[in-house]
């Protein structure tokens, strides 16, 4: 039962990562920071967040929901 709750938690985490990967709230925003548009910085930062979350997933939860074959 605990593994199914952990699987649901990780599913929610990855759904949030996917939902915010496209910065729809920055569309039509022409702000430039350090020579690049803000949406580019959003993607750079979001890739760092995604990499950190995947590292935590790989070290703590790899294999949740995967059962050995019979």
Blockwise average pLDDT, block size 10, the chain, 70 residues? 81 94 85 90 94 92 67
| Separation of alpha carbons 7 and 13, rounded Å | 10
Tokens of 48: 């760092």
What residues does each domain of the chain span? 2-60
Q: In the prediction, which pLDDT does 44 show?
A: 93
Q: In the prediction, which pLDDT does 61 show?
A: 81
Q: In the prediction, which pLDDT does 47 show?
A: 95
| Separation of alpha carbons 7 and 17, rounded Å | 15
Tell me how far apart the 2 most distant CA atoms of the chain are, in Å. 57
Confidence (pTM) = 0.76
| Separation of alpha carbons 47 and 55, rounded Å | 12
Q: In the prediction, which pLDDT does 4 show?
A: 80
């Amino acid at each position: 039962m605990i593994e199914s709750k952990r699987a649901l938690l990780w599913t929610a985490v990855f759904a949030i990562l996917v939902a915010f990967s496209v910065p729809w709230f920055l569309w039509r925003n022409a702000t430039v920071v350090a020579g690049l548009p803000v949406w580019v910085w959003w993607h750079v930062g979001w890739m760092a967040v995604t990499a950190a979350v995947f590292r935590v997933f790989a070290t703590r939860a790899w294999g949740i929901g995967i059962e050995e074959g019979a």
